């Protein structure tokens, strides 16, 4: 059975009503058979894309404090040592995962621990792979204090299509690896910042599975 994320319930309901009304109106007012069917197929494709975007497949996470798991589904687009300017203000290993509109967009906690920082930033909507997206786009910054890795930062970044980031992390919360951390609607990216010396288990171009796949370890 297909599961859908709660953040999509309203949009899915509107999409179903819109599709039903659209198909009814084409049946009633369009006499040209091929035109009517073309419009109806387009409506059903649109509905299918909405359903596909908000799907929330169940994932079985093997909890391990020595592992950092992928927080989202998508493609690894960045692995590099960078200066993290907002919270750490020092060198970190950045791993970035890009999500196309076809990917599952649920954000999951990459590790267990205590939320020591959580902040929302309004911003632009540059394409998610743009170098300035991580500092200029709409985004959230969350830091998890983990017993093995210390503080691990992840950043949800809106893309050119996304207009709303949902973040469930609140300062002081204890969170469990692999559980629901939020959602990014319609295209996005997540950056993870790890301590220098962390062993990275993925490479650029790899497709990863959120909540399951190990991307780094001690």
Beta bridge partner(s), residue 94: 80, 193
CA nearest to 111, candidates 176, 202, 208, 200: 176
CB 69 within 8 A of CB 212: yes
CA–CA gap between residue 159 and residue 46 (Å, rounded): 20
Active site residues: 188
CA–CA gap between residue 171 and residue 140 (Å, rounded): 13
C-alpha pair distances (Å), 67 with each of 121, 165, 198: 28, 26, 10
CA–CA gap between residue 112 and residue 200 (Å, rounded): 18
CA–CA gap between residue 168 and residue 142 (Å, rounded): 10
CB 200 within 8 A of CB 215: yes
């Amino acid at each position: 059975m297909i599961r859908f994320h709660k953040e999509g319930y309203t949009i899915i309901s509107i999409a179903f009503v819109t599709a039903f009304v659209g198909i009814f109106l084409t049946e009633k007012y369009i006499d040209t058979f091929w035109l009517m069917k073309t419009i109806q197929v387009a409506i059903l494709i649109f509905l299918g894309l909405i359903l596909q975007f908000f799907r929330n497949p169940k994932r079985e996470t093997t909890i391990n404090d020595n592992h950092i798991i992928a927080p989202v589904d998508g493609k690894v687009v960045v692995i590099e040592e960078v200066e993290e300017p907002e919270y750490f203000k020092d060198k970190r290993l950045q791993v970035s995962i890009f999500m196309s509109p076809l990917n599952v967009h649920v954000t999951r906690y990459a590790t267990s621990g205590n939320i020591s920082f959580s902040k929302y930033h309004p911003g632009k909507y540059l394409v998610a792979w743009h170098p300035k997206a991580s500092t200029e786009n709409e985004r959230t910054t969350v830091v998890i204090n983990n017993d093995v890795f210390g503080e691990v930062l992840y950043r949800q970044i809106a893309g050119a299509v996304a207009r709303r980031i949902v973040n469930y992390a609140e300062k002081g919360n204890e969170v469990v690896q692999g559980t629901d951390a939020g959602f990014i609607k319609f295209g996005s990216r997540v950056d993870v910042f790890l301590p220098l010396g962390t062993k990275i288990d993925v490479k650029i171009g790899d497709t990863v599975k959120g909540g399951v796949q190990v991307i780094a370890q001690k």
